[in-house]
Amino acid sequence: MPCPRLIAATAVASGLLLLVGNANAFDQSRYPDWTGAWRRIPVPGVAGQPGYDQTKRLGPAQQAPLTPEAEAVMKTSMEDQAKGGQGNYPTYICLSPGMPRIMTPYGAMEFVITPDTTHVFIEHVHDSRRIYTDGRDWPKDLKLTLQGYSIGKWLDTDSDGRFDTL
């Protein structure tokens, strides 16, 4: 019965060829399809500029759990804005809002997924990000930025063989 062995060997060889053939492939089907332009969804009944919690209006309605010191900073800022000033709002001079505000997002957002990095391109001031997914650790020396330094990990939470959560 030599033939069953031959058949098995052929199947194994075919599998190996398949493996070798795709050794350098970036299998996009393992990642979620996030292509396209993404915009925030306005919440019905929440008027005005979007807040950090998009289900609530800006300002005190956000009910931010601030320390007393930060609460005072916000109060001063809002009083200044009520008088026509800009408060502690750096974006009006074209500084990036930085994280976490850049993920509001204020402009269209594009996700560019590669195995090592997911780029988040946002057409607004200076808001794009790199999320490193190559398994790196936090670097020892780092120049600080408004966007911060992001490390990510893809998860297959429903075990269907595809990543679904970053």
Partner 1 sequence: MRHQGTIARIMLTAALCAFSAGAQAFDDAQYPDLRGQWTRVDGPGSAGGEPSFDPSKPPGRGQQAPLTPEYQAIFEANLREQEAGVPGIWPGRTCLPPGLPAQMAAYRPLEFVVLPDVTYVRVDYVRETRRRIFTDGRAWPEEVEDGFDGYSIGKWKDEDGDGKYDVLEVETRHFKGPRNFDLSGIPLHEDNETVIKERIFLDKADRNILHDEMTVMDHALTRPWTVMKTYRRSADARPQWEEYLCVWESKTVRIGDETYLLDKEGFLRPTKTGQAPPSVQYFPATK
Interface with partner 1 by CB under 8 A: which residues? 3, 6-7, 10-11, 14-15, 17-18, 21-29, 93-96, 110, 112, 114, 116-117, 119, 121, 126-128, 130, 132, 134, 136, 139, 142-143, 145-147
Closer Cβ to partner 1, 42 or 115, answer by number? 115
User: Apex CA 8: angle with CA 7 and CA 9, to 5°?
Assistant: 90
To partner 1, the closest distance from the beta carbon of 88 in angstroms equals: 16
To partner 1, the closest distance from the beta carbon of 5 in angstroms equals: 10
Closer Cβ to partner 1, 83 or 143, answer by number? 143
Closer Cβ to partner 1, 64 or 163, answer by number? 163
Closer Cβ to partner 1, 134 or 164, answer by number? 134
Q: What number of other Cβ atoms are within 10 A of residue 32's Cβ?
A: 15
Closer Cβ to partner 1, 43 or 146, answer by number? 146
To partner 1, the closest distance from the beta carbon of 82 in angstroms equals: 18
To partner 1, the closest distance from the beta carbon of 53 in angstroms equals: 27
Q: Is 134 in contact with 119 (CB distance < 8 Å)?
A: no
Give the whole-angstrom CA distance, residue 111 versus residue 128.
Answer: 10
Q: Name the nearest CA neighbour of 129 among 142, 116, 145.
A: 145
Give the whole-angstrom CA distance, residue 119 versus residue 121.
Answer: 6
To partner 1, the closest distance from the beta carbon of 110 in angstroms equals: 8
Q: Is 97 in contact with 106 (CB distance < 8 Å)?
A: yes
DSSP assignment of 40-66 equals --PPTT--SS--SSTTS-SGGGG----
